[in-house]
Amino acid sequence: MTNEQLIARIRAGEDEAENMLALWQRNKGFIAKMAKRYQGYAEMDDLMQEGYLGLCEAVRHYEADQGASFIHYAAFWIQQVMRRYIDNCSGVVRLPVHAREWISKYNKAVREYRQYYGESPTEAALCSLLGVGREKLHVIQESVQMGQIRSLSEPTVGEDDLTLSDTVASGEDLEADVMQALDRENMKRELWIAVNELPGDLSTVIRVRYQEGKTHKAVGQILGVSRNRAAQLEKDALRKLRLLGKSKKFRCYYEEYLSAAPIRHVGVERFLNTWTSEVEREALRQLEGTRRGDRWIKHIVRRAAREGAEVPEELEI
């Protein structure tokens, strides 16, 4: 039974499903050949399904009295349906049909030129091969770049369970983050060991002030002393922590991570008046042993307390 006879039965309503299946089986090879033209833009199975829809449209519109064979008439509908599917679904960025045609011509011209001459074509050569001006060529090249955009959820070649997003390098430096976390833990451990070794009520003052966040007045009430005495005890504790024998173990952490925090910027005008840079000024504070000279140790204690420093049971007072 010919295509035209099958179409006549379908149009007449005689066993439409069976006759449509027979028509599909009869022309399946022809549709597969057409689908191979667009195999680089979409999956073969999807193109075959679109080919079946195009075949149905051809049956709906075919007129035998026009003198054209069905297979030639159906080729137009099958091609249109496949192209429409590619335009709507095949790429991340939707490109019009005419743009895809120019992309195909451009890629073919570049490929053949490289095969023949062994190098990439110049703009002048491309304009000559495609028969376009430089402005039109630039538009085509932009379309080529847009057509190369891929989705991050697209599977990689040969790995169905691996997508492009899995292959993108992270901006995080995991090694540096891990090392810094270990340094912080060591810093907190060394610090609280030094605090535990402070004599008398000095250790209690530091813990109540920085771990519990109490005021000098509250510290005084806990120790049974005045507010001023509590403040003086805190100064004594910080001064002892700054002594080289105690601070050498954790001072390096301050210099690595926290040293920039207490340094105040010195402008050009102030520098011309004092001839002292911000680094020199900070060094003088520490050497003079002033109230601000205790700032670096306060930074470490506050940092350790803020991050929830845990003291080993054998070190607790």
**In sequence order, which residues have a C-beta less than 8 Å from that of residue 175 and are 6 or more positions away?**
none
Of 55, 5, 7, residue with least CA distance to 27? 55
* Sequential pLDDT tens for the chain (317 residues): 788 888 888 888 888 888 889 989 989 999 999 999 888 777 889 889 999 999 998 888 888 777 788 888 899 889 888 888 877 765 556 666 667 778 888 989 999 999 988 899 999 999 999 999 989 899 888 888 876 665 555 555 555 566 655 666 555 556 667 777 777 777 778 778 888 888 888 888 888 888 888 888 888 888 898 989 989 998 888 888 877 566 666 666 655 555 444 444 445 555 556 655 555 555 555 555 544 445 656 666 776 676 654 444 443 43
- Is residue 47 a contact partner of residue 35, using CB atoms and an 8 Å limit? yes
Of 259, 302, 300, residue with least CA distance to 282? 259
Question: What does pTM read for this prediction?
Answer: 0.38
**In sequence order, which residues have a C-beta less than 8 Å from that of residue 119 and are 6 or more positions away?**
none
DSSP three-state, residue 48: helix
